[in-house]
Chain A
Amino acid sequence: KAGVTQTPRYLIKTRGQQVTLSCSPISGHRSVSWYQQTPGQGLQFLFEYFSETQRNKGNFPGRFSGRQFSNSRSEMNVSTLELGDSALYLCASSLAPGTVTATNEKLFFGSGTQLSVL
């Protein structure tokens, strides 16, 4: 079974541009969540989608948005890029969160998209 796939692996953008990152979850997984990792702030939760609905949202500005499609694939978008948005963006999938079982809530991460904003 293929793991979580994120594309692209590396991305270089300039300030003011926008960017779209893609994530394909493990087959059968219905939940996709996104995290930002920086040296200063560590790993921070961005948002989570389940059955095309946003279930949770972290403390990030509205420039960060996401969506989930009917096949569970997800995209996140960052508009009006700032230098501080440079980070590793990680996507994770799980079967069905909130059902409080180990199998359903265990998170599996992709390799991430390294975004550099110049």
Chain B
Amino acid sequence: GIQVEQSPPDLILQEGANSTLRCNFSDSVNNLQWFHQNPWGQLINLFYIPSGTKQNGRLSATTVATERYSLLYISSSQTTDSGVYFCAVTANQAGTALIFGKGTTLSVSS
């Protein structure tokens, strides 16, 4: 099956700093999503981005499908950005059985 690797596993930032999170996947995918899990366990969908680039406020994501990686950019980080960021993919044409990476744990301090 598809392997999903995220890096770095942990990231510590000062408020206002920028960061880049990476997701590598081992095979072609037709569905790639980024999620943020807050300290209370709630998973929030950030982007659906199997290819191309999208931006939403201070967050943006780019997926280069031909090279099998995706990047999540966080600019001007805030303490509320803390939590775990997951990349999830699937190559299954019939459904959304996502395979998750192990996540990047981000800690933003003021």
Contacts and interface: CB of A to CB of B under 8 A. Distances in A.
23 contacts: A33-B95, A33-B97, A33-B98, A35-B98, A35-B100, A42-B102, A43-B88, A44-B100, A45-B97, A48-B95, A55-B97, A56-B94, A58-B97, A98-B94, A100-B31, A100-B93, A105-B96, A106-B33, A106-B45, A107-B98, A108-B45, A109-B42, A109-B43
Contacts of B100: 35, 42-44
Contacts of B101: 42
The bracket for how many chain A residues form the interface is 20 to 34
Given A106-B33, A107-B98, A109-B43, A56 B92 contact: yes
Given A105-B48, A106-B45, A111-B42, A55 B31 contact: no
Interface in A39-59: 42-45, 48, 50, 55-56, 58
Nearest to B96: A97
Interface in A1-44: 31, 33, 35, 42-44
